[in-house]
Amino acid sequence: MDFSKEILYPVIILTGIAIFFSILIAIFSKRFAIKKDLQVETVLGLLAGANCGACGYAGCEAFAKALVKGEAKLSMCNATNKECKKKIGALLGTDASDEETVVVCACIGGIMCEDKYEYQGYGDCASVELLSGGRKSCPTGCIGMSTCVSSCPVHAIDIIKGVAVVNQSKCIHCGICVLNCPKSLMKRIPKKAMYFIACSCHESGKNVRINCKVGCIGCGICAKVCPEGAITMVDNLPVFDYDKCIGCGVCADKCPSKCIKELVLPQKNDE
């Protein structure tokens, strides 16, 4: 066997090509390196990296660039947590004192709410909404046809008993559902909130009861029983002042319709 021809040549050729190309790549990557903006890189590292697009930019990288340029506001991103926002704010010298919020569905009607008509055919909430304002007899009732479910980038919303329910352990608070819900039922509430009103209907009590068994009738009992006076009635719906609320839960207890719900947030290990 000819040692040099059978073994030496292939080894030399293969390693030769490999070394040649690795040197070439090393030279090229040095020679043609793009000066990356360090600030953009740092901001990008601090952002949530969910690439949800709720800020209106094509992904977190584009948003980071816009932030550094000063075109975008930090509050446009809802997926990034508070500490990182503070760091970004300190880095860019902008104020980041936004309160952290979570998203909830302010309707618990669903199958407890009467249907105006039976909808058959193609579409989701948006197309049903075009047909005389949705299939529910309540003007602000959750249609339950999954526009929010299909728009959610992290599959955090389910339709349970005909009404959208946000799974807080999956939700990244990006707010795409808030933009997409034709009834604007997806609402932002402060993260520190412990109770919220799960009804959006401003109708009088009688009209609410005709349509829906669980809607808020605007009786005002919650406002009366609240020991801290944190609830005021506005247009037949209670409005919470979360700075005053101590989370005693009396309002939810006494509510005749049981439409004041406790906000159950997942316990984070690092908190």
Partner 1 sequence: MPYWLYLVIGGIFINNFVLSRFLGICPFLGVSRKTETALGMGLAVIFVMGMTSIITFGLNLLLKELNIQYLQTIVFILVIAALIQLIEIVIKRFAPSLYTALGVYLPLITTNCAVLGVAIMNVTELATQNIFTSFVNGISSGIGFTLALLIMAGIREKLEYSEIPEKFKGFPITLITASIMAMAFTAFAGLSF
Binding interface with partner 1 (CB under 8 A): 5, 9-10, 13-14, 17-18, 21-22, 24-25, 28-29, 32-34
C-alpha 130/C-alpha 152 separation (Å) is: 22
C-alpha 154/C-alpha 106 separation (Å) is: 20
**57: which DSSP letter?**
S
CB of 171 to partner 1, least distance (A): 27
99: buried, middle or exposed (CB in 10 Å: 19+, 13-18, 0-12)?
A: exposed
CB of 128 to partner 1, least distance (A): 20
Closest CB to partner 1 among residues 16, 229: 16
Closest CB to partner 1 among residues 93, 121: 121
CB of 255 to partner 1, least distance (A): 43
C-alpha 123/C-alpha 187 separation (Å) is: 23
Residue type, 20: F
Closest CB to partner 1 among residues 26, 246: 26
Closest CB to partner 1 among residues 24, 179: 24
CB of 63 to partner 1, least distance (A): 16
CB of 131 to partner 1, least distance (A): 21
Closest CB to partner 1 among residues 57, 196: 57
CB of 64 to partner 1, least distance (A): 16
Three-state secondary-structure class, residue 89: helix
Q: At what angle do helices 59-69 and 82-92 cross, to 10 degrees?
A: 40
C-alpha 218/C-alpha 235 separation (Å) is: 8
Closest CB to partner 1 among residues 5, 268: 5
Tell me if 110 sits within 8 A of 212, measured CB to CB.
no
- Whose CA is closest to 146, among 122, 169, 170? 122
Closest CB to partner 1 among residues 35, 268: 35
C-alpha 81/C-alpha 172 separation (Å) is: 9
CB of 166 to partner 1, least distance (A): 28
- Whose CA is closest to 210, among 112, 117, 132, 131? 112
| Furthest C-alpha separation in the chain | 101
